[in-house]
Each structure stands twice: as structure tokens, then as C-alpha cells.
Amino acid sequence: MEKAKLTPEDVAALTIEIRAMKLLSEHDKFVKLYESYDEADKYYLVLELIQGGELFDRVVEKEKYTEREARRVIQQLTEAIAYAHGRGVAHRDLKPGECAGRAGLSAQHASARRERQSAQPRGHEVAVLQR
């Protein structure tokens, strides 16, 4: 992300998002943040490559889910959300289009991907709660 395109609020939101990603990277349903770099003119995030597409696209493509399939997806999502909440992280705008890859919760990845596309951080969707 180009620093020149970011407002001070964007930088603050990005800092919070990086902190949240570091807290969640150990769980297998969250994209892993391997490293972040703060260079003179850009910020770089090195993220795990997630393949498999977004949950929303799979739901639309499949059209119908069996109860067993739906239960599996919801169980994975709720386990991931519980993990995040247990570490003091809350996502304030979770939707199927932000879940990717392994049918798990990759909200941070989706948010970071949008950042690369728009060069504007989406950290306002993530809150790291103070303990």
C-alpha cells in the first residue's frame, strides 16, 4: 500500500488490523500473516496464499446445501469466531464474501485483498479489544 494514499486514520486502522492478524495467524481458519514491512513509501504484508475462492461464490454456485454441509461450514465459522473473540478480536462486518479458502474464516485476508485493490485499509471492520 502506498503511504501517500493513506490518511492518518487509514494508518491507524492498518496498525490495528496488522495487530489482529498477528493474534489470529496461528489458527488454521485464518490467513497467516508471515511478515509486515514498513518501508519509506509503502507498507507490505506477506500473507499466506489462500486458494479455493470465497464462501459466497461457492454458495451461489452450489445453490443448495445439505444440512450436513451447512452444519460443517457454520461450525467452522463459529469455531473461528470464538477463537478470535477469545483473543480479544472482534470483526464488526462479517459476511460470506469475506470468508475464503478452506471454508473457514479468512476475513483478514479478504480485507487485505481489498486493500491491495483499493489502496485503502479496511481496518474499521476489525477491533482489537483491550484486556
One of 28, 38, 57, 93 is an active-site residue; which one? 93
Task: With residue 82 as reference, give the H or E element that holds it.
Answer: helix 67-86
- In the residue annotation, 57 being an active-site residue is answered as no
| DSSP reduced 3-state for 51 | coil
DSSP 8-state class, residue 98? G
What's the CA gap between 23 and 43, in Å, rounded?
19
d(CA 60, CA 11): 35
Residue indicated by cell numbers 474464516: 105
Active site residues: 93
